[in-house]
Every structure is written in C-alpha cells, then in structure tokens.
Chain A
Amino acid sequence: MCSLALFPPPLPPGQTTLCESNNELLCGTNNSEARQDSSALSLHFPRESLKLHSRTESSSKAAFLDHSETLWMRSAAAWRDGGFTGLLNEITTSHAEVPKWLSVTSGCILALLRWVSSFHGSLYPHVTLSSEDMIAEFSQLLNWSDCVVRAFAWHPHTDKFAVALLDDSIKIYNPKSAITPTLKHRLQRNVAAVQWKPLCASVLAVACQNCLLVWNVDPCSLSTRPSSGCAQVLSHPGHSPVTSIAWSPSGSLLVSASPLDTSMMVWDVAAESCVPLQRVGGGGVTFLSWSPDGSHILASTPSALFRVWETRMWTCERWPCIKGCCQSGCWSPDGSRLLFTVQGEMVIYALTFSGSPGVPPGLVKGPQVAVVVADLSETTFNSPDGDIIVGGEIQSLSWDPRGERLAVLLKGDPGAANRPAIIAVFKTRSNPVFELLPCGFVQGEPGAEPRLLQFHPNFQHGALLTVCWSSGKITHIPFYFLTSGISQVGLSGSLPLPHLQERPADFSNQSLFTELIS
C-alpha cells in the first residue's frame, strides 16, 4: 500500500506551488506575480541580515575573568554555575591549592559520577548530547540548528504570528499594525518552540534552552522593544533544555517537556507554580501535543515509547513502539483521532479515542492498537529532468483546524540531489468514516527546503499552510475549499475566488485509506 504513487507528480524545477483551488494545486514559475492576499505576510529573513553570536558565553568568560580569585571564590562560582559536578571539577583541577586527600577524593567521586552517567547514557543515548544537539534532534523542525527561522506560531484567534529567529530574537507580525515588536531576553537562547496562549490576546510562551519564558506583549502598545520585564521566567531545576510546550486549549495550563527530565511540567502560569508529572521510563519527554478539545495530551519520549495523557485526572496510557521514538503527532479537530509517526518508519499511524470528553475517564475505552493509515515509502516519479524520489521518513505532521487537509513534511535525503525534502498534502475526511485522499506536493523555489509547517488556526476560505523555508522565507499557501459540514452563509459573500464550485474530485476513487477497508 504505497500512498505516494497515487499522488500527482511533483512539479518540474523552477515551479512553486501557489495555492489549491478547484481541487487542484496551482503552480507558478515566478513567485513575485500572482500572489494571493496573503502576500503581505510573506517574509524573508536572509541569513546575512541576522547578527549572530560570534562566541558563546563560556568562551568569553575565559577571556575576561582573571583567574587569580581565591579557591573559595572559584568553588562558589563553580557550585553556582555547574552544580555539584562543577564543584568537584574545580577541586580536582586546582590540586595545587587543596589538600591532596580532598582532590583525590573529589577526583574519585567525579570518576564514579561519570561512570554512572555513562551507564545512564548507554541506556538513553540522548543524554550524552549537548543541549543544542538535543534540541535539534527532537525539534519538529527539519535541521533545526541550521534554520534561520527556528520557531513559528500563529495566534489562535487573530492574524498575527510570532517568528523566532536564529539570533535568538522573536518578532511579532500583525497585518493590522505597522509595529513589529522584537522580543529579546537574556535567557532567551536556542528557542525550540513558541506558542500563543489561547483565549488571550497577548501571552506568548517560549521554550528556551534553560527555561520557559512567558511574554506578555500588549497588542495596543507602540513599543517595538518590549522590556524583559514583560517576560515571566518559569524554570524548574533539572528541567532543561525545553524542547516542546503546549497550552491547554482552554488557556489555563501550560505543559512543558525536556528530554533530560522524566517529568512533564504542568504550569499554572499566572501563579508561576508547577506540578511535575513524573513517569519513570523513556528517559525524558520530547514532544507534546494537546488535543484541540483539551482532553488528551500526546507526550513522546526519546526511547521507543510514547504516552497519551488524559487531562482530567492526569493519568496516562503507555504506547510502546516497535522501532523508534515517536517523532511527531497531530490531533483531529474533535480530539478523537491521533495521527503519529515513528522514527525509522515511513508510515503514519492512527489511534482513535472513542470517549467523548464528558465521559468519566474510567469508562473511556482507549484504542487497543494503532492502525497504519498511510504508507510514505519511497516512490520514484519520472520527469523529463530525471527521476525524483519522494518519500521516506517523516519529520512532522500538521492537520488543519477543520480536519480537511493534512500536511506531512518528508525528510528526504540531504546528500542526494534527487531526493529533496518535500511536503505532501493529503485530503482528509472524518465523517462518516475517516478517509485519506491524495492532494499533492507543495514545493518552493529551487534550492529551498521546507523546514517547518503550520496551518493557520482560523482561515475562513479553507486552510492556509504556512511554510518556513531553508532560505529564510516564510510563505503561505492557501487551500481554497468549501467545508461540507459548515454552513456556508457567512462565507459565500466574501469569497474572493470566482471558480470555487466544487468539482467532483478526480482522485475520489483513489481513496488511500478509509476505515471501512482497514
């Protein structure tokens, strides 16, 4: 069951996908013309325009601090910076000044600690990574460390969005205002994810290397550089680097995850208090996704295991995978279906949660087994310029808020020219039965690789897919369609496109997956 074979072939080089209309993807050669109304929000961040940190803090420290401090001062500083191991390290290295027995003892303890941690590292290989590598490993972005745009988030209710850039700043764009606030903070380093608080106009949570920052960006303010006093710092010992965050859809709680911390933190942001929810096993938590109805949270771990938490009494189901860890996942708009992908496998799995949100947790029977809904193994498309191989491992999934389009970012192979990273878009339908239909591939300018994708949370005319490219561009690709389930009264008047009459789809007989056949 190879799903990609049924897709229309990828575009020839030089062509970019512009939009979906009339049930097919339209393309154009030059991106400057034929832009839709979203062009005002298309941005370009050239890599050269960003001022990058030339050196890290630790290297500058060696340049400026003179080392003639007393042992006590250095020990105190080591304790503050590096904790217990830092202190031991300091004592061991300055063996000329401390008594011999002390330096020997601390050396032994240090060796013992290293042995234990190497043992731990052999169980969970990810703990040996540096924190930047770890963020890159578990980020939803393709090749995070090289990305100009490191995180992107649409506001759930309005048309503004936040972009985190390589230089650790965050910019907020709003089509209705000329002001672009830039958020910078001392602790805002290596941003792995940003997310706006639902049911709120101004609160933005940022997952940083050492902490969580919660910015309060007043939408009426005229300031372009909100002070760092506008940010709340949420941190918990041992909870870093933070690689994923998720707000509850009701806006009351924020969960955060770190691959080095086995507990997932549930923050009451206003009170700055947190409840650690610890489950041993897995070695950490890498990716979180809160279902849109608020009833479940997907929490994946670095090992071949993920959990689905139920948010009423905060209990969890364990889902062991066979091959690798859960790489990405997304929920259907009603929260009843979870699609996820596993590292090392080329398929999309689905889990169905039948329980309605009101039923007490004891009565909800969770699914028994995950079902393969799409097989994205490699497929060769013949084109005049040579074969293009599409398919392979999946980096991330995104489902539009109406549940009609599913975008899949395929990793491709950076080494091979004919195996690019590409976005495959499926049409999905959940009523009366769950169905997947092919829609097409989304491609950018030549040489630009898709890095991150996200759907606009409330696009009126269908779905709007925002893609961040490796070139530093952010483009928006609208998918114009009519939803069968939603009344069309409010929509029909404002539709800009003339040719929107729904045509029977060509691919309707090529359904990739339906619940009936599975």
Chain B
Amino acid sequence: MFPSETSCWFIRKVIWWRAAASIAWSVLLLPPTTAVFVFVSKFSFLHPIQTISECLSLLMSSCLIFSFILLGGVVTMVGFLNLEYYTVIPTIACSKIALLGQLLHPRQVINSFAHCLMGVIVGWCCAVTVGSRYETLGCPCKSSDGVPQMGLNEYHLVFLLAGAFVGFSHSLLGVIHNINYVSFTAVQQYKYLHFKGSLPLVLKCSAIQAFYSIRNFTVAYFFLGYIPKTWICKTLNLHLDSSVHRLDSITGFVDLSLLYHLWISATFLLFTWYTTLLLFRIFVTEVYSFPVQPTFTEDSRQCLPRVLTDQQPMILKFLALQDLALLSKHSPSRRSEVFSLSQPGGHPHNWNAVSRECLALLADLTQRLVAYHETVATNGRAKSLSSGSERKTSSDTSFSSGTEDLMSPRPTFLTKTPTSVFARSFAGGPHSPLTAPFTPDLDSPFSSPTLRRLTGPVDQCSPWHGSVQSPHIMRRAPKLWSTSAESQVSSSPPRSPASVPSPKQEPTKPSFLAQFLQNRKEQLPEASSQALFADSQAHIWALEALSYLVQASFTEDQFGVVQTTLPSILSSMLHLQEAVDRHFKLPHASSKPVRSANSMEDFTYKTLRFALRATLKTAIYRITTTFGSHLNAVQMSAEHRKRLQQFLEFKE
C-alpha cells in the first residue's frame, strides 16, 4: 500500500492521529449541535417555557440517545471518507467531459452512495427527533371500506428521501467544487481560534446550501415522488391513505411547517458534515515541525532535508515545505542548522539538499510553463475558440494528427479510470494518483519527469512511460486535451518530422462519438491555467524558503554555503519570472475567477497563480534589496543581469 517506509511512519504517526483527533472532536461536538437542533425544531413562540421543558425531556429520552449513536457513526464515517478522499492538489477538470468522467468514476459513485446512505440515516434521526407526525414510517389508517390497516406516513418518507437527496447533492457538489481539496492558509492560527473563527461561515454555508438543496428536492419530489412511494408501499405492504392529501401535489408542499423542518434538518445534516470537514482540514494542515538535523542516525529519514526529497505522500512533502518556509522566516536557530556543515567532512549537506529540492521544484514549474506556452503559441488562440468542425476542411493531412488527438485519450481513459480519479494523495502502488482522465495536469506526459516524481510513482502500464523525456512527446502531449489541435499542423507545416511521430496513425475519419467527445472536450476558460498551477502552493513555499534563507544568509551564514548556490537560485527565479510573465499574457490567464462567499468550497486553488506571481516578485526583491549592488559580482547571463538591474532599480 505504501510506497516507502518513510511515508508509512508519517501517515501512521501523524496523519492518522490528526484525523482521529478531528473525528473525535466532531463527535464531541454532536451533542451540543443536536441540542440546538432540537430546540430550534421544537421552538414555539406561544409556549416558550413548555418548549424548553419538552426539549429537555426529549434530550434525555432513550430514542435520542440511540440517534446520538447513529449520528456518531455517521460523523465517524464522514471523517473516514474525508481522510480517504482528501487531496492537497486539486483535481481540476479542464472540460465538461472531464468533469463528467469525475462524477461517474467508480470511486466517486461509491462516495455518493455512501453519502446518500448516511443522509438517509441522518434524515431518520431528524424525523425521530422532530417527532409528532414525522416519527414513524407506518401509521394506522382506515381503508376505503373502513378496515383498519397500516398506512404509509408520507411525512416520514419525505424526511428520509430529503436526507438522501441532500447527501447525494453534497457529494456531487463536492466534486464540482473540489471540496476534498485541503488548502494551507497563509495565516497560522491556533486550532481552537481557527475553528472558532470559521464556525459562523460554516453555519451560514450550511443554511444556504440546505435551502437550495431542499428547493431542488421539492421539485424532484413533486415530479418523481410517486416512484419511491409506490415502491416502499409494495415492499413493506403498506397502504396509501387516501384520506390525507398527497405530498407530491401543489397543496401538499405548501406546508410551511414541513418545509421549515426539512430545511432545519438539512442544515443540521450539512452543518455536522461541514464541521467534520473543517476540523479535518484544520488538523491536517497544522504545522508539523521536522528536525533539521537528526539526533540519532535511525531518525535520519524523519529529518527535514530527507523528507523534502520524498515524493510520496504529497501531504508529507507539503508539510515539510511549509515547515521549511516557516523556519526560514521565523527561526534563526533552525536556520543556523540549515547553514551548518556536516561534522566529519565539513559539507553543507542540509543546505544542499534543501536548495536542490527547492530549485528542482522551480525548474519543474518553469519547464511546465514553457511547454504549455509552446503548445499554445503554435495553436494560437484558436485553441479555445474553434469547435473543431469548421477547420476540418483546411487540409486533409491534418486529420491524422487530429484523430490521434481524439483517439489517444480513450485508451488512457479506459486503463486509468479505475484508479485515477480521486485516488488519495498518498495512495501508491502501481496506480498513479492525482489524475483525472482528461485533466491536463499531472499524469499527462506533458508534465515533466520531475513532476511525476513529485506526484507519485510512474504508472508502469502507461504507454508514455520511459519516453517522457523525449522532446516530441513533450510537444505532442498537450494535444490530449486541446480542442483544435488539428489546425496546428496545417498552420505550421515546417515542423520537424520528429515532432509528429505518431505511433498509431490511423487515417480514418473521426467517428460520431469522437466528434461528440471532441465538442464536449472544449476547454473551460482558464481551467487549463488553473490546472497548470494546481500544486503551486509547493512552489510558493519553495520561493519563500529560498528567499528568506538567502536573506538570512547575508548575516547568518558563517561558512558561505549559500554563496555557492546564489547564482543558480537567482537564475532559476528569473527564468521562472520570465515564464510566468509570458503565461500571464495569454488570454484567460489573468482573468479573476468568480467567487461566492456562501460555500465551503476552497477558492485558494483558483488564485494560486496570482499568489505565485506575487510571491515570486517579492522573493526576487527580497534578495535584491538584501544584497544590493553586491549582486553585480554574481555570475549570470547578460539577459538576466539586465532583468536583475530592473529589480535593483525597482522598475518591475
């Protein structure tokens, strides 16, 4: 299961404990939440005292204690699903069909089903808690000829179905909004204060989300409600009471008390789940302090320079980078350990490991941006504009590469689908995690080898394996998800023959299905840009860590270990700056995403590219203001020197 022993210790000793603590806290928070729910659902303005006494007696009843146990089980389950499905790198669907692929993925279907089931359980608990007419599924009624028999209590059924519906839509919206993405905040706070500060937002989100879910449920039940109703009646041998009017009618749903109770219950359901999610996010992203120097040799694999180079699990790498950024900012004593020399030998192993890893991250991003820019430049802006069909006439030869574009994703899709989407970030083994069938991000061959190393073990069965580094694959790969790649050959015929080495050229016309797929594969605006920067939190930390360490080295670095790497640090930052600048000149790249405050969706991943751009500039300025004119002594290319001069003069 686990790729290496190191991740094993980390997952076992840290992540599981953190998840367990978060689940324990969510279970502990259940009683007060339930008490509030009971009070709100029972409150009546006319008899306030009576309400309170009723609530108190209800809270003591055995029925509610049983509900507690059930709810505790549900919350624990939600916590486990969070642990199972969380990711630190969001999966960004670049096209509608990719999104559909995510939704229909078996892993996701299981998730939705589990949420549905848990929704039913919470719905039952709510119905029992609210009591009165909602309490049981069966109720005595009289048939038309006056014989007493068991009838169906439609109110109870509505509660169960509403629970299922809300759970299902929660899970679907979770995919669309990347709710399983765990982001790291720039502001470190103690867990309690962080939780307290986020609680009002969670309450607001769950109330609003519950409102929309119940609205949709009402519509769905109005049209389709008879199906589950007749089914339940048949299987449980219950009878429909003809004397009470049916709920899936206009008059049936204009029942304000029922709607209010449904809304309150849905809010309760979403609130408990969101709280669990929030606690999980807070606990998992808490800063973990890795030792820079191992005290004992057997601990060496737990120390920072070693952990940084680990590729799996991602959470470990992210926490290590976060710790590195923080130590470079705040802690002189730990910085001195980074700058220190090894005792026998006098080598700056710590600094070398840290700087090498950070530089590799930056170089990887630069490479990715350059590769992306190349494909876009050859495709031009048509990439996101043409729908594919009108350009077909331009040249027949273009079909070959066009079809290849169409066909190639499908085998990939078939082979990878079972494991790829939503594979949790630390899943290892033969599967490649963190990928979606059509997302351009990590698993596409377009991503560099460094990135693959970063994201996980290389998929052995992938046809791209082994040839990733060859330039033509790098070139061709983005066509996997571009829409009008066929036009590129016709528009730029003199491309080197090596650039179109189609291993399976089929001169067939695209089938109808392929064309349909092609149309659905149309890029969502700016999604490709988001996907490109999906894991940029790591780069941001790397930039911060490097710049702060370099700044501190001006006064703290006694042995001059940073001096040797300064030219490469500067040049890699300037390279990245160039690539980022070029990227932001593309259409859509600088458009701001729309955000709404009323959702638990974490928007951080949508703006990571802006954060990266700002951090990069600040990082370069931090170095130039610290060293000033001393930088003239650093060796670098003329172009970079010119660029650096602009930074020294504050003209960037």
Contacts and interface: CB of A to CB of B under 8 A. Distances in A.
Please say whether chains A and B are actual partners in one complex: yes
Which of A201, A271, A275, A277 has the largest number of chain B CB atoms within 10 A?
A: A271
A252 B608 contact: no
A253 interface: yes
B650 A358 contact: no
Interface string B609-638: 011011101100110010000000000000
A276 B618 contact: no
B516 interface: no
A315 B193 contact: yes
A65 interface: no
Interface stretch (B162-170, B180-188, B228-236): B180-188
Contacts of A46: none
B611 A268 contact: yes
A270 B622 contact: no
B190 A252 contact: no
Contacts of B607: 270-273
Interface stretch (B218-226, B324-332, B459-467): B324-332
A281 interface: no
B186 A268 contact: yes
Interface in A291-345: 312-315
A314 B611 contact: no
Interface string B169-201: 000000000000000011111100100010000
Given A201-B650, A253-B186, A313-B188, A270 B614 contact: yes
Contact of A269 (B185, B331, B603, B614): B614
A272 B618 contact: no
B333 interface: yes
Interface in A46-101: none
B604 A271 contact: yes
Contacts of A271: 603-604, 607-608, 610-611
Interface string A342-377: 000000000000001110000000000000000000
B188 A312 contact: yes
A357 B330 CA distance: 7
Contacts of A252: 186, 544, 615, 618
A313 B190 contact: yes
B193 A314 contact: yes
A19 B621 CA distance: 33
B625 A270 contact: no
B245 interface: no
Contacts of A312: 188, 330
A276 B197 contact: yes
Contacts of B333: 358
Contacts of A201: 621, 650-652
A278 interface: yes
A252 B597 CA distance: 23
A358 B186 contact: no
Interface string B360-401: 000000000000000000000000000000000000000000
Contacts of A483: none
Given A201-B650, A201-B651, A315-B193, A270 B621 contact: no
B625 to A, nearest CB: 6
Given A157-B650, A250-B329, A250-B618, A270 B187 contact: no
A272 B652 contact: no
B504 interface: no
Contacts of A278: 197
Interface string B593-610: 001010000011001101
A157 B610 CA distance: 23
Interface in B509-530: none
Contacts of B603: 271, 273
Contacts of A357: 330
Given A199-B618, A270-B614, A273-B603, A314 B189 contact: yes
Contacts of B650: 155, 157-158, 201, 219
Nearest to A232: B592
Nearest to A295: B330
Interface in B319-340: 329-333
B187 A272 contact: no
Nearest to A255: B187
A220 interface: yes
A276 to B, nearest CB: 6
A277 B186 CA distance: 13
Contacts of B652: 201-202, 219
A109 to B, nearest CB: 15
Given A219-B650, A270-B607, A200 B618 contact: yes
Contacts of A356: 332
A315 B190 CA distance: 8
Contacts of A268: 186, 611
A231 interface: no
Contact of A157 (B185, B604, B618, B625): B625
A9 interface: no
B530 to A, nearest CB: 13
A275 B197 contact: yes
A472 B544 CA distance: 42
A269 B613 CA distance: 12
Interface string B492-510: 0000000000000000000
Contacts of B610: 270-272
Nearest to A199: B621
Contacts of B185: 275
Nearest to B287: A313
B431 to A, nearest CB: 32
Contacts of B329: 250
A174 B604 CA distance: 36
A427 B110 CA distance: 72
A251 interface: yes
Nearest to A236: B597
Given A268-B611, A271-B607, A358 B331 contact: yes
A153 interface: no
A275 B187 CA distance: 8
Contacts of A272: 592, 595, 607, 610
A314 B188 contact: yes
Contacts of B625: 157, 199
A268 B537 CA distance: 13
Contacts of B187: 253, 266, 275, 277, 314
Contacts of A270: 607, 610-611, 613-615
Contacts of A277: 187, 189, 197
Interface in A215-248: 219-220, 237
A270 B187 CA distance: 14
Given A157-B650, A358-B330, A200 B621 contact: yes
Contact of A220 (B186, B617, B651): B651
Nearest to A155: B650
A174 to B, nearest CB: 10
A266 B333 CA distance: 28
Nearest to A315: B190
A250 B331 CA distance: 15
A158 B647 CA distance: 12
A277 B190 CA distance: 12
A497 B260 CA distance: 80
A219 B651 CA distance: 6
Contacts of A358: 330-333
A268 B611 CA distance: 8
Contacts of A269: 614
Interface string A92-130: 000000000000000000000000000000000000000
B592 to A, nearest CB: 7
A191 to B, nearest CB: 23
15 contacts: A199-B625, A200-B618, A200-B621, A250-B618, A270-B611, A270-B613, A271-B603, A271-B604, A273-B603, A273-B604, A277-B187, A278-B197, A314-B189, A356-B332, A357-B330
Pick the 5 closest A-B CB pairs, nearest first. A270-B614, A271-B607, A358-B332, A199-B621, A201-B650
Given A269-B614, A277-B197, 9 more contacts: A266-B187, A272-B595, A272-B607, A273-B607, A275-B185, A276-B197, A277-B189, A315-B193, A356-B332
